[in-house]
Chain A
């Protein structure tokens, strides 16, 4: 009788071990499937991510150099009845002091029309608003700030300004 009971216990133990292993197998397969699906979903954006990054890098470099060139481009304007050649950066400065130069600037900005689909803006910035990295490059350098290529410079006796160019697309 005792022998039969032991045998039955043995069988039960074997069965429970087998069941626990089977459960482990099912769990492991399920975990692997979840792991594979999750990692596939996580990495699926990589290709698009690289393309976006490449687009961004291209537009960024075009924007930086073009803005830099634009700010140094000479423009002829009349100051106190006298024709003078100044840079576009100085024209932006003048426009901040005397609004009649704003119209000249507006027409000058149109030069970008044949190059890009773009947004150009210039902003007066409080000292606090200008990030330190941009301050370090004060002058004509154009540096990428968020979505815009930006250049930062001073207007005498006024707040510093930033000229910004955002290129949405390149005209072929």
Chain B
């Protein structure tokens, strides 16, 4: 039987061309992985969205159908889970004020309003609702400050 033998130079060239191809495959694969990861690992700041949803829940809890039912600490806590360590909520209706969470974040918000730049800043949002309380239109103001900077910034 006749066997075909490659000469040494050809073998070396063959090997080198395979290394070259391997490098090519690695480069393409890592390029795709890098591109996908660069988007998937991006931090998205969804705190504003969270504030909007929380305020909506709070307002609907206090005034379902627009008419004030119960404006109290316990009523709000029954409706929405509040992460006291990362959130500050201030809801005011006439002279009544309800506060939840750490008010340090509201102070940070005030500082930011004065123009001070903070690296890990909280998200500060205010919402106004018209509600009916004993037949009168009243303003329900909900202020929400969410910290959660590590997971959003």
Asked if residues A50 and B45 are in contact (CB atoms below 8 Å), the reply is yes
Asked if residues B137 and A73 are in contact (CB atoms below 8 Å), the reply is yes
Binds A, one of B59-67, B72-80, B102-110: B59-67
Given contacts A66-B66, A170-B126, contact A17 B17 (CB under 8 A): yes
Asked if residues A65 and B60 are in contact (CB atoms below 8 Å), the reply is yes
Asked if residues B127 and A14 are in contact (CB atoms below 8 Å), the reply is no
Asked if residues A73 and B139 are in contact (CB atoms below 8 Å), the reply is no
B118 within 8 A of A: no
Closest Cβ of chain A to B28, distance in Å, is 5
Asked if residues B53 and A57 are in contact (CB atoms below 8 Å), the reply is yes
Closest Cβ of chain A to B65, distance in Å, is 6
Main secondary structure of the interface of B (DSSP, over half): helix
CB contacts under 8 Å to A, within B82-108, are: none
Asked if residues B48 and A54 are in contact (CB atoms below 8 Å), the reply is yes
Interface size, A (range): 35 or more
Closest Cβ of chain A to B44, distance in Å, is 6
Residues of B close to A84: CB separation below 8 A: none
CB contacts under 8 Å to A, within B3-57, are: 10, 13, 17, 20-21, 24, 27-28, 31-32, 34-35, 38-39, 42, 44-46, 48-49, 51-53, 55-56
Asked if residues A10 and B10 are in contact (CB atoms below 8 Å), the reply is yes
Chain B positions within 8 Å of A, measured between CB atoms, are 10, 13, 17, 20-21, 24, 27-28, 31-32, 34-35, 38-39, 42, 44-46, 48-49, 51-53, 55-56, 59-60, 63, 65-67, 125-132, 135, 137, 139
A selection of 26 A-B contacts at a CB cut-off of 8 Å is: A18-B20, A21-B20, A21-B24, A28-B28, A36-B31, A39-B35, A40-B39, A50-B49, A54-B52, A58-B48, A58-B51, A58-B52, A58-B56, A58-B127, A62-B127, A62-B128, A65-B130, A66-B66, A66-B131, A68-B66, A69-B66, A69-B129, A73-B137, A112-B130, A170-B128, A172-B126
